[in-house]
Structure 1
Amino acid sequence: MSDDIILKVEHLSKQYRLGVVGTGTVAHDLNRTWHRLRGKEDPYLQIGAVNDRSAAASSDYVWALQDINFEVQRGEILGIIGKNGAGKSTLLKILSRVTSPTTGSIKTKGRIASLLEVGTGMHPELTGRENIYLNGAILGMNKAEISSKIDEIVEFSGCQMYIDTPVKRYSSGMRVRLGFAVAAFLEPDILVVDEVLAVGDAEFQKKAIGKMQDISNTSGRTVL
């Protein structure tokens, strides 16, 4: 992978099973194992309906993503656009290691911070301040590094009054404010943001977009 390429996705696909919650059935698992032991392809990868939410299901399996390939340069801002159910959030979850791909590979360089939905990475019983330290530790930062950033994070979030209150008492907008501030200021190499910013008010959306442009232009970090 080139030094300028920070993220590379090759032949990425994700298949889900429709219907009741679960990964499959014992019969399916045994069938997959039998094919794998004989060196054959997974039989359930050969089927699967097209991901069209408005059509009736024609199979127990559906491809949320199929054969996705792209590269992202360091410092680039990449917008992923598509209609509801197109697989945008699935792709971001795979890139954030929340779920694994069915086939394909992902190569990344550096730390990834994700803000995929309201409260991502936040422990509801901990205060806002404690969650900042928790998220920083998850990103591999030590306490001194986090402490040097905490005043900027709190100021940007606009949650000064509630910073020592458990996050479970925050409104959805406040959780997004704090979550974005943590993700942006703790210096990840790749920042992954889903539609969660739509929960915030217009003033915060403007601040968040400006911050994403700033960390890309001045710090050379990548934003998805």
Structure 2
Amino acid sequence: MNRPARLVTAALTASAALLLTACGSGGGDGASSDKIAGADSADTPSASPSVSATADGIDRPEIKLPSDMKLVFEGQQTGDAVKDAILADNERSVSTVWQAVAYGNLKKSGMGFYYTDAALRGVYNYAKNNNANKTSWAGTLRYFDRQVTVFDKTSAALTYCVDESKANVKDLKTDKVKVTETSPDSYVYYNTGVKKNEQGVWQIWKLHEDRGSTRCQP
């Protein structure tokens, strides 16, 4: 069985080419006709105030991960307010996906708060498939070398690496974790497009994955 983020490959790469070299509209993945829980105002998860929420005045969905699922984000502060806000919303966005995978509640996961367009369809289908298969992960994912390129007041690109070497797939039916040997595929490069919505949230709308990228190898 593969590592956690390896399971996400098919869903997340549906949104087409690298943002920095080609800015086309996100492609469909078969879910465009389905209603995605949390994707509109009617289904937006109820907000739960937190330290980060009060800092920027935005009411945000509550995010809680199980104790055996740890996320480590490096490079949280750049000194630039816009870039730091994008990095903070990046942390929240990926956390909502893992919350959905861990607990199976797509509607209240918060994914619709931080993702939109093709990226939302991708992560929604990914979480939904993992829920159906009773599959999650345990261990630590490290997010590093996070770089922001700001285009204007409402659009930017974010690239980052993920180290999956200390995370393994968990079978929720048995609660057992299968340890997977570390390989070049344990390191993944992501290239995302983000845009700021009317609430001030930097949402991911487009995402490309390069598994085994030499940019992220130790």
TM-score, normalised via structure 2 length? 0.26
Greater strand share, structure number: 2
TM-score, length-scaled by structure 1 = 0.26
Q: Which of these two proteins has the greater Rg computed from alpha carbons?
A: 1
